Structure 1
Amino acid sequence: MPNELRLLVEIMKMKNDSIESFKEFLTNTDWELFLQLAMHHRVYPLIYSKLKKVDERLIPKYVIENLYQEYKKNTFKMLFLSGEMENLSRVFDENKIRLLFLKGPVIAFDIYGDISLRTSKDLDILVQKTDLNRVEELLLSYGYEREEFQDKVEKSKLHIAYFHPQKKIEIEIHWRLNLPPLKEPSFNELWNRKRVSTLTTYQVYFLGEEDLFLFLIAHGSRHGWFRLRWLADIDQLIRNKLISSKNRLSIKAYQHQHLGGKADLLIDHSLLLASVLMKTPINKEIHSLTAGKRSRKLTHLAIKYITVMGHLEINEAKFKKNQQSSIKSNLQWTFNYKFSLKSNLEKFIYLMKLLKPNSADIKTLKLPKSLHFLYYPLRPFLWFWRRTTNL
């Protein structure tokens, strides 16, 4: 990990205004890269809240000023999203449509007790799949437009995006929490365990404690934890004892009941990663979950993946020479992590898709329709042929 990324993590862990944990990382710091990493990981509000109390002689003034400006913009945005969240709750309620907010200001308030300490790009809403048509009609009448561009691989299976051109607000309507084949509770089960936020005047519903915890873990894992903000959420939930022995449901029993075997790996790996990077205190109820060999391997891959994604998004030249690698190598780490995270069934499906012929195979070797079945056994050879020809 670059010095600047390690510094970012250490500041996130900072307690009681003590700088001893990260003082050693302040020398030879590329502060421009530090700011870019804080933006990339979406943790700049949290970083500002910690550094504003630090001796100004240790941190360049322009760094604090930049963080403050971004912190201020985020606070206004979260207030604006809070207002829209309340309006949507009222409109949906009046039309007898049940909805649960998955992320956004309501989650920031629940986890941090302050909406200014967490960022949110849009509002994520969960509804019943049977209500999707009614939801779209309601949103269109309310001024939202369905975004034409949808990620065919993921979004078509998980959510639909809408954008309000005047308010400049994007919302995502979900009918599932996670991508299949990961199992999950029904909407009615989630609704029965819902909570009511005290952030707004009008009632706003969001996920119960266990449901939110497992949703955030599944979401962070699916994206490889490449933004530290997601790991900060897990750390905060555990430190605030929102997930503890007092919970109504045992996490272990709950995950098997609703999410299936893969949830074991997701939780084990996520908690171990939080413990390693954030020094998250794992209590006795879930401590044994982090012992698996596969979890340790995934944690190693995830830390590399977190570094690589910042590397790719910001600028390869910003990283120190002894930590640089080629784009090809970085993408290999991306594949290694995401493939290792898949269940055996998902790995099988993925490999079967690789064997499925595509247009490139047809261009490489044209066969009559009656012989198209031969593309399946020939695909590895055609792929190898294209690779060697290109080289």
Structure 2
Amino acid sequence: MEKIMNEKLKQFSRELKLLLSIMKRGDDVLDFNNKDFKGIEWDKFIQLSKHHRVFPLIYKRMKDLGGDFIPTSVLQELFLIYQKNIFQMLHLSGETEKISKLFSSNQIRTLFLKGPVLAADLYGDISLRTSADLDVLIPIEKLDQAEEILINEGYKKDEYILTVLNDWKWRHHHITFFHPQKKIKVEIHWRLNPGPAKEPKFDDLWKRKRVSSLTSQPMYTLGLEDLFVFLVSHGARHGWSRLRWLDDIKQITESKINWTKTINLLKRYHYDDVGGQALFLAFHLLNAKVPKEMNNIINRKRTKQLGLDALFYIKQMVNLHTDPVPEEVSAYHKRHLFSLMSTKQKFFFILSFLYPYPEDAEFLPLPKVLHFLYFPLRPIILLLRKTKIRSETRRA
């Protein structure tokens, strides 16, 4: 596996290799020499740093090298997006504090998952990480109240979730709100990840919470062990297609995390192979520290294979967040997501297909009192839907 990994890394572009080299050396970048930068296509390098959302780190480290190796225009462009990110993070920080106060004054327990809170937590400096939105976890019974508060503050709800028989509670994991004037997106979570995966209860997460150092106003985030489980499950679900997520893993390995507790949580929620995948990638790509407690998990054949499979996303600069996703990428991603699941997770995932989908209700509308009939009718409706799609495809 190690030999295969090295062969795959050799296939990376020169620009991606340089990006990784700068990231893995940390602040010790002064031992670079001119040949490390020879033949670099700088437009492609900047594009990679933007795609992987690591340009704040890259700029800070490249600036220390001076202009002998790097064109001034490259440093200037990186500085501009670095500076823009500082303003963005300050903007988000202010909104984070405001939402925290609003929810707290309305007795809504709130855990901030990402955004400036995570940047301050892992990097000690909000300018060294990027964030496009705010992710907030609250108890599911407080969703209506949180929605009312945000709408009163000028946020607009994204009504993209369709549901039948309350499947939204476990199929989905957040609702999105957008403020048109502030240009801020807030995702209100009631789960850490979409279902049907098993998850810790909010009350358990709340008991293990930590106070954020972002502001003097008390704000709360996940305990380190819960944070690791969340970050590896989130990164894996997105194929580790952004190196920023792997750098988060590298940062958390340098914290005072309790690995014994972390391993127990990973096993309880069937993320031990996924946690191993994250550390396997962070070690090989970014020289992250591998805790000895995780050696047994990282050295599994399955864990290493999952790590090798994720290189597909990194090598090709895959973007899963912008539609349309190329068909071959979408097909690969579906297979990879399934391969990440434990046997038990696969069982419940397959079982979930027997539960009615909103598309069933659209295809065969029934009065709400008869929605229970979608369970026995599901196989028939699915067959009819597929037949209709094939027929329309042939006519097209």
> What TM-score bracket applies, with the shorter chain setting the length?
0.7 to 0.9
- 2:256 equivalent to 1:242: yes
Aligned partner of 1:283 among 271, 278, 291:
291
Equivalent in the alignment of 1:71: 82
CA separation of 1:386/1:72 partners in 2, compared to 1, >3 Å: closer, same or farther? same
The Cα offsets for residues 64-106 of structure 1, whole Å up to 9 and x where unpaired, read as 1111101101111111111111111111111111111011111
Between the aligned partners of 1:379 and 1:22, the Cα distance in structure 2 is 61
Between the aligned partners of 1:190 and 1:108, the Cα distance in structure 2 is 20
Secondary structure of the residue aligned to 1:53 is: helix
Q: Is the 8 A contact 1:305 1:333 kept in 2?
A: no
Moved more, 194-203 or 61-70: 194-203
Equivalent in the alignment of 1:230: 245
Shift, 1:10, TM fit: 1.1
Shift, 1:182, TM fit: 2.1
Shift, 1:298, TM fit: 0.9
- 2:112 equivalent to 1:98: no
Equivalent in the alignment of 2:8: none
Shift, 1:382, TM fit: 9.9
Between the aligned partners of 1:149 and 1:66, the Cα distance in structure 2 is 36
Q: TM-score, normalised by structure 1?
A: 0.81
Shift, 1:138, TM fit: 1.2
CA separation of 1:306/1:22 partners in 2, compared to 1, >3 Å: closer, same or farther? farther
Alignment of 1:120-139 (within 5 A): 120-139=131-150
Equivalent in the alignment of 1:194: 209
Between the aligned partners of 1:264 and 1:181, the Cα distance in structure 2 is 17
Question: What are the ranges of 5 or more consecutive residues in structure 1 without an aligned counterpart?
Answer: 315-326, 363-370
Amino acid at match of 1:56: G
Between the aligned partners of 1:26 and 1:382, the Cα distance in structure 2 is 56
Secondary structure of the residue aligned to 2:136 is: strand
Between the aligned partners of 1:372 and 1:139, the Cα distance in structure 2 is 37
CA separation of 1:60/1:382 partners in 2, compared to 1, >3 Å: closer, same or farther? same
Equivalent in the alignment of 1:294: 302
Q: Is the 8 A contact 2:136 2:188 kept in 1?
A: yes
CA separation of 1:378/1:186 partners in 2, compared to 1, >3 Å: closer, same or farther? closer
- 2:52 equivalent to 1:41: yes
Amino acid at match of 2:256: L
Equivalent in the alignment of 2:218: 203
Secondary structure of the residue aligned to 1:216 is: helix
CA separation of 1:344/1:381 partners in 2, compared to 1, >3 Å: closer, same or farther? farther
Equivalent in the alignment of 2:18: 7
Equivalent in the alignment of 1:158: 173
Aligned partner of 1:267 among 272, 275, 278:
275
Equivalent in the alignment of 2:188: 173
Amino acid at match of 1:280: A
Secondary structure of the residue aligned to 2:297 is: helix
CA separation of 1:313/1:377 partners in 2, compared to 1, >3 Å: closer, same or farther? closer
The Cα offsets for residues 261-317 of structure 1, whole Å up to 9 and x where unpaired, read as x21111111111111111111021222210111111111110112223448999xxx
Shift, 1:201, TM fit: 2.2
Equivalent in the alignment of 2:61: 50
Between the aligned partners of 1:244 and 1:21, the Cα distance in structure 2 is 35
CA separation of 1:56/1:351 partners in 2, compared to 1, >3 Å: closer, same or farther? farther
Equivalent in the alignment of 2:228: 213
Between the aligned partners of 1:290 and 1:346, the Cα distance in structure 2 is 20
Between the aligned partners of 2:305 and 2:26, the Cα distance in structure 1 is 29
Q: Is the 8 A contact 1:304 1:333 kept in 2?
A: no
Between the aligned partners of 2:328 and 2:127, the Cα distance in structure 1 is 37
Between the aligned partners of 1:95 and 1:330, the Cα distance in structure 2 is 44
Between the aligned partners of 2:329 and 2:263, the Cα distance in structure 1 is 34
Equivalent in the alignment of 2:5: none
Shift, 1:61, TM fit: 1.1
Q: Is the 8 A contact 1:255 1:263 kept in 2?
A: yes
CA separation of 1:136/1:12 partners in 2, compared to 1, >3 Å: closer, same or farther? same
Amino acid at match of 2:257: I
CA separation of 1:372/1:125 partners in 2, compared to 1, >3 Å: closer, same or farther? closer
Shift, 1:353, TM fit: 4.8
The Cα offsets for residues 237-269 of structure 1, whole Å up to 9 and x where unpaired, read as 11x233255xxx522223234x1xx21111111
Q: Is the 8 A contact 2:55 2:82 kept in 1?
A: yes
Q: TM-score, normalised by structure 2?
A: 0.80
Amino acid at match of 1:45: P
Equivalent in the alignment of 2:336: 337
Secondary structure of the residue aligned to 1:52 is: helix
Secondary structure of the residue aligned to 1:125 is: strand
Amino acid at match of 1:53: D
Secondary structure of the residue aligned to 2:298 is: helix
CA separation of 1:88/1:267 partners in 2, compared to 1, >3 Å: closer, same or farther? same
Between the aligned partners of 2:77 and 2:69, the Cα distance in structure 1 is 16
Q: Is the 8 A contact 2:139 2:190 kept in 1?
A: yes
